[in-house]
Amino acid sequence: MNKSVAQKRILKLRAEIEDLRYRYHVLDDPKVNDAVTDSLTCELRVLEKEFPELRDPLSPTERVGGKPLDKFVKVKHSTPMLSLNDAFSRADLEAWKERIKKLKSDFKGSPKSDFLEYFCELKLDGLAVSLIYKDGLFLRGATRGDGYIGEDVSENLKTIETIPLKLRTPFPKMIEVRGEVIMAKKTLRELNRVYEKINKPLLANTRNAAAGSLRQLDPKLSRERHLDFFAYDITEISKLGSSTPTWELSSQVDTHSNKHDFLRQLGFKVDKHEAVCRNLNEVWSFTEKIGKMRPNFPYGTDGVVISVNQTELSKRLGFVGKAPHYAVAFKYPAEKATTVIKDIIVQVGRTGVLTPLAVFTPTLVAGSTISKATLHNFNQIERLDVRIGDTVVIQKAGDVIPEVVEVLPKLRVGHEKKFKMPTHCSVCGSKVEKKEMVAYFCANSNCPAKNIRGLLHFARALEIDELGPKVLNRFRDEGLISDASDIFALKKEDISGLERFGEKSAENLIVSINARRKPPLWRFLYALGVLHVGEETAQDLAERFGILEKIMTAELEEIQAVPNIGPIVARSAYEFFHKKENIDLIKKILKTGIKILPAEKRIAGKLFGKTFVITGTLESMSREEAKEKIRALSGNVSESISSQTNYLITGESPGSKLARAPKLGVKVLTEKQFLNLL
C-alpha cells in the first residue's frame, strides 16, 4: 500500500472508529460491537506504525496515553469554575428562589413577571474538569483546582473514551465544556479485587479514585483505571468564523437544557437524568424521584444541581464569593450505618487540638469503607454518652467526614467502658490544657505530631505537592527539616544522597519548592496554620491589611474590624502574630529569600475603603442582602463597631451599637440614606 492509499484508509478508519465511539457511549447503541471497534483500531495502529509521518496526536490510537510527565502545568481558567451553595431542605430551596426573585427585581427594566424556569440534573460525584476545543479539535483539559487556577491534565483526559478528541459537525470556532470525570462503582469493585490479591492499598471511594487516577503523571496508569466523563455545561463559545467568545448566542445555548442537547450533538456523553421544571413543586418531585433511584445508579451521586434555565438570566444574576446566585446543589441526608466501637483514640492536629476518634470494624457508609469516625471533642462524648463497646450510628456528614451521631444504649451488655480524656499528649507526653470551653490542646509547641501536621499543612497550602507525609517524616528523621523555614533551605545535594531519592526526584522537588517562593499574602497566611484562619479568612485579612508587616503589628480591635472576622478568630490571629516563637519562625522563613506578594487591590467601587456595620432590622432587604450590596461596591462589612468603622446603618430596634457610634465618631445612616449611597 502506497502512502496516498494509506492516508485515505487511515482517515476513513479514524472517522469510523470515532463514529462507533459516539454511537456506543453517547447514543447507547446496542448494535455496536467491541470486537469490530477493536479490529478497526488494530488495523489503524498498524498503518500508523508503517507510515509514522501520518500519525495524528488526536487519533483514536493515541488514547493509550503519552509519555509520563515530570509534573502538571498550572493553567488559569478564563471563566472561574465556581462551587455551589448547598440546600438540604424544601425551605432552603424556597429561600434560594426568593433571593433570585429579589435580585431579579433589582435589574433595570426588569419584567413584572416572577416566572422562573429551572433545570435539574444529577450532581455527579467525581472531579470537575474544563475542556477547550478549537476548530473542533481537543486543545486542552484542566482540573478545577481552586476555581481560578487548575492543572493541565490533557494527556490523561485523552485516555478517556467518552471524551471526544474531535467534535461532530457543525461545531463552533471555539468552545469550553465543563463536566465531571467519574469512576463507576463496578470499576471500583473490580480494581479493588485485583489490588487485594496483590496486597496493594485499596481505593477508598469512587470520587477519590477518579481524582487520583486523573492526577497520575503517567497517562497509561490513568487509562488502566477506566474513567468515564459526563459533560454538563458550556461556559464559553464563539460562532463560526469568529475567535471572540460571546454570550449573544443562538437558540442552541440560550437555555441550560438546550446546552445539554447541543453537547450531545457535538459528541459528548450527557447524563439522561434531567428535567425542565416550571416551579419548585416540580423541582421537589424530581429530587424525591432521584432520591429513590440514587442507590441503584452505576456511579456515585451526592445530590441534584438546580439551575435557572435561562442562560442570559443566569449571567445577570452573577455570583457572590465563590458561588453563583443562579444555581444551588440540593444534598440528600447523609448515609448512616451502625457499628460497634472497639476503642477511642486521640489524634493531635497541626494546631495541637486533641480530637477523639472512634475506632471500629471497617464499615461501608455512603460508598466508602471506613474504620474511624470523629467524636469532635470531649463535650460531644459526654453529650452522647459514648462508651467503648457501644453500638453507635455513624454517618458521613456532607457525604465526606465520618462522624458518630448517635448511641444505641439499649444494646449495651454491661461491659462498656467510659472514655477519659488524657491528661498528657499521647505523642510527646506533654501536659494537656483545656481552652475555649470544649477544646483540649497539647501544650508542647515542639510536639512531633503538631510539627509534622503543621509542615504538611504548610506544604499543601503552598501547593508543594511533592512534600507528602512520608517525605516530610523522612526529612525530619534525617535532620533536614524541623520547621517550615527548612523547606526553603533544602538543597538538591541534601536529598539526592538519601535512599530512594535519585538526582531526578531531588531536582523535581527543589524545582517545585522554588516555584513557590513568591506566594500571595493570603496563601502564606493560610500556610502558617493560624488557629481558626482558613482560606477565606486569610483572604479577608490580606485584603484588609495588604502586607504581612501590617497584620503582624495590628491591634486586636483592628483585626476584629475586618469583615467576616469575629472576636474568637481575631484573638487567635492577634495572639499568633504576637507570640515570640511564631515571629521568629516568620523571620526565619523570610530569610530564606521568599517574597510574599502584597494583596492585589480591588477595583475601586463607590464604597471602596469604607467599613459598614448594621444594627436593627432593615425593611427593604435582609442584612445579608445589604452586605452583598456593600461588598459589590468594594465596601467592607464588620460585625463589631470600632473607631475604624465609617458608617453604622440603623434599622428597626437598633442595638447598643447606636449609642456607641457618636463616641467613636462613626456616622449613623438610616436605611433610606444607605440606599441613596448605593
CA distance 389 to 663: 60
* Choice among 56-70, 158-172, 433-447 with the minimum mean pLDDT: 56-70
What residues contact 550, with CB distance under 8 A and at least 6 apart? none
Give the pLDDT mean for 270-284: 95
Q: Are 521 and 542 in contact (CB under 8 A)?
A: yes
**Residues with active-site annotation:** 123
Q: Are 121 and 303 in contact (CB under 8 A)?
A: no
Instruction: Say which CATH number the domain at 508 has.
Output: 1.10.150.20
pLDDT band per the 50, 70, 90 thresholds, residue 552: very high
Q: What percent of the chain has pLDDT over 90?
A: 38
Residue 89 falls inside a structural domain: no
Single-letter amino acid, residue 240: L
Q: What percent of the chain has pLDDT over 70?
A: 91
What long-range pairs does 399-402 form, CB within 8 A, spacing at least 24? 399/125, 399/302, 399/331, 399/334, 399/335, 399/366, 401/374, 402/365, 402/368, 402/370, 402/372, 402/373, 402/374
Give the pLDDT mean for 653-670: 84
Residue 73 falls inside a structural domain: no
pLDDT at 653 over 70: no
Single-letter amino acid, residue 634: S
* Residue 92 or residue 640, greater confidence: 92
Say what the alpha-carbon torsion angle 88, 150, 214, 454 is, to the nearest 10 degrees. -80
Q: What is the pLDDT of residue 248?
A: 39
Give the pLDDT mean for 115-131: 93
**Using CB atoms within 10 A of its CB, is residue 524 exposed (0-12), middle (13-18) or buried (19+)?**
buried
* Residue 548 or residue 534, greater confidence: 548
pLDDT at 52 over 50: yes
Residue 79 falls inside a structural domain: no
Alpha-carbon distances, residue 546 vs 151, 555, 588 (angstroms):
28, 15, 21
Residue 550 falls inside a structural domain: yes
Residues 530 and 495 in one domain: no
pLDDT band per the 50, 70, 90 thresholds, residue 601: low
Residues 288 and 378 in one domain: no
CA distance 608 to 456: 37
Q: Are 207 and 57 in contact (CB under 8 A)?
A: no
**Using CB atoms within 10 A of its CB, is residue 62 exposed (0-12), middle (13-18) or buried (19+)?**
middle
Instruction: Say which CATH number the domain at 397 has.
Output: 2.40.50.140
The alpha carbons of the chain give a radius of gyration, in whole angstroms, of 28
* Choice among 79-93, 129-143, 158-172, 598-612 with the minimum mean pLDDT: 598-612
Question: What confidence tens digit (pLDDT) does each residue in 470-527 have?
Answer: 899 889 888 899 899 999 999 888 888 787 787 888 888 999 999 999 999 999 999 9
Instruction: Say which CATH number the domain at 634 has.
Output: 3.40.50.10190
Residues 464 and 507 in one domain: yes
Residue 181 falls inside a structural domain: yes
pLDDT band per the 50, 70, 90 thresholds, residue 110: low
* Residue 64 or residue 101, greater confidence: 101
Single-letter amino acid, residue 432: V
Residue 116 falls inside a structural domain: yes
> Which domain-ending residue is among 410, 442, 474?
442
* Residue 354 or residue 401, greater confidence: 354
Residues 266 and 231 in one domain: yes
Q: Which domain holds residue 629?
A: 611-677
Residues 305 and 402 in one domain: no
CA distance 167 to 176: 12
pLDDT band per the 50, 70, 90 thresholds, residue 397: low
Residues 263 and 411 in one domain: no
* Residue 137 or residue 466, greater confidence: 137
Q: What is the pLDDT of residue 408?
A: 92
Question: What confidence tens digit (pLDDT) does each residue in 226-268 have?
Answer: 899 999 999 988 754 444 344 434 567 889 999 999 999 999 9
Q: What is the pLDDT of residue 31?
A: 62
Cell 501520518 belongs to residue: 54
> Which domain-ending residue is among 271, 302, 330?
330
> Which domain-ending residue is among 266, 295, 330?
330
Residue 21 falls inside a structural domain: yes
3-state secondary structure of 578: coil
β pairing state of 636-637 and 611-615: parallel
β pairing state of 647-650 and 401-407: unpaired
Residues 340 and 251 in one domain: no
Q: What is the pLDDT of residue 276?
A: 96
The answer to pTM > 0.75 is: no
* Choice among 39-53, 89-103, 194-208 with the minimum mean pLDDT: 194-208
Give the pLDDT mean for 105-128: 81
Give the pLDDT mean for 14-40: 73
Give the pLDDT mean for 589-614: 85
Cell 458518630 belongs to residue: 404
Of residues 35, 142, 123, 122, the one with CA closest to residue 81: 142
pLDDT band per the 50, 70, 90 thresholds, residue 64: low
**Looking at the 3D structure of the chain, how many domains does it have?**
6
Q: What is the pLDDT of residue 244?
A: 37
Single-letter amino acid, residue 38: D
CA distance 23 to 635: 54
Residues 468 and 616 in one domain: no
3-state secondary structure of 612: strand
Helix axes 448-461, 469-477, angle to 10 degrees: 130
* Residue 646 or residue 20, greater confidence: 646
Residues 468 and 429 in one domain: no
CA distance 664 to 214: 56
Single-letter amino acid, residue 551: I
The values of phi and psi at residue 208, to 5°, are -65, -35
pLDDT band per the 50, 70, 90 thresholds, residue 277: very high
Q: What is the pLDDT of residue 436?
A: 61
CA distance 598 to 595: 9
pLDDT at 109 over 70: no
3-state secondary structure of 129: strand
pLDDT at 59 over 90: no
Residue 478 falls inside a structural domain: yes
Residues 167 and 237 in one domain: yes
Instruction: Say which CATH number the domain at 24 has.
Output: 1.10.287.610
Beta-ladder partners of 231: 179
Instruction: Say which CATH number the domain at 213 has.
Output: 3.30.470.30
Give the pLDDT mean for 203-218: 83
pLDDT band per the 50, 70, 90 thresholds, residue 290: very high
Residues 176 and 317 in one domain: yes
Of residues 258, 207, 210, 251, the one with CA closest to residue 233: 258
Question: What confidence tens digit (pLDDT) does each residue in 322-376 have?
Answer: 789 999 999 887 677 889 999 999 988 888 889 999 999 888 776 677 899 999 8
Average pLDDT, the chain: 86
What residues contact 501, with CB distance under 8 A and at least 6 apart? 495
CA distance 454 to 448: 10
Q: Are 416 and 431 in contact (CB under 8 A)?
A: no
Residues 563 and 429 in one domain: no
